[in-house]
Amino acid sequence: MKFSPLDLFLKARKNTLPENILVCMAAALTSTFYFYEYQYEKFFPIREPILLCMTGAIFLIWISCSFFAGRDGRFGFAVFTFVYWAVPFVYTLYYAGRDNVRQYNKWLSLINKAFTAMLSNPFSTVAEKTNTVPQTYAALLVMISLAVYMLGFFIMRRLDEKYGDDNGNYDGEYSGEVGDRVAMLESDDAEEMMEIIKNNKGKNQPLMFGNNDSKKNDPPDLRSAVGLVSEESTESSDELPEAAETSDGQREDYDQLIDDVLGKKG
């Protein structure tokens, strides 16, 4: 089954905010820790190409998650993107501006090293290739991610307004009369009803629900002929209109169900 890009955008699975955060953090931290891998470099010079590929993967994963987070209205992901890259940058600026010789603190130094690794290691190789600093790519990633987040957000709101005017409460799937008929046809009751219609097609006898066992016709009662009717027969005759009304009500419900299943052309 083929889907258009619009269908894929509307009907794709909605990821939760923790899922998006974990995927993006895994991509960034993988590159951060692989930066310290030198064991196989003297035999196979693959460290630099792998780091370049990881940088591209970080951009691709982060931008994709931002786009779908905007579609789903996950505003927390935009906040996370800004905080993840902005906090290390601000802290490294603060640490570089203080007197770290006379006011040395091992905990502040440890935090600075950790934030520097988070901010610089994923983009260090590509920064060397382009003669720039890693912070430039971190800032570029934040700006692109936030822009893509807003793009996904406004596209979804625009589509929601467009389809909502036509079909009422639009939730990313087809709704309305056609959707109700499809849902009815997929139900067990509708399948049973279609089988009854097919089996009784061309027959003149009416369709009846429940137990349709026919009863033998009893010979006429002489007391009824002369007008001598017992109380029991009177009570049973009083119940007949109610039974007829019940049968008529079932017939109306059945006719309505047939119309709903087959649909009216108009």
Distance linking the first and last C-alpha atoms of the chain = 30
pTM for the predicted model, two decimal places: 0.58
Alpha helices, DSSP H only, in 73-105? 75-97
Confidence label for 170 from pLDDT (cuts 50, 70 and 90): very low
Cβ contact 122:58 at 8 Å: yes
pLDDT band of residue 197 (cuts 50, 70, 90) is low
Write the single-letter amino acid at 122: P
Q: What is the pLDDT of residue 169?
A: 41
Residue 81 · residue 145 · CB < 8 Å: yes
Give percent of the chain with pLDDT exceeding 90. 38
Given this model, what pLDDT does residue 174 score? 36
Q: Residue 83 and residue 96: Cα distance in Å, rounded?
A: 20
What mean pLDDT is predicted for residues 36-58?
86
User: Given phi > 0 = left and psi -120 to 50 = alpha, else beta, which region is 131?
Assistant: left
Rounded CA-CA distance 108/100 in Å is 9
Is the pLDDT at 8 greater than 90, yes or no? no
What was the pLDDT predicted at 146?
95
**Per residue in 136-160, pLDDT tens?**
999 999 999 999 999 989 988 887 7
DSSP code string of 145-212: HHHHHHHHHHHHHHHHHHHHHHHSS--SS--SHHHHHHHHHTSHHHHHHHHHHHHTTT--SPP--S--
Q: Which residue in 27, 210, 227 sits closest to 121, CA to CA? A: 27
Neighbours of 145 (CB within 10 A): 26
What lies within 8 Å, CB to CB, of 229 at 6+ separation is 223, 237
Token pair belonging to 74: 């996950």
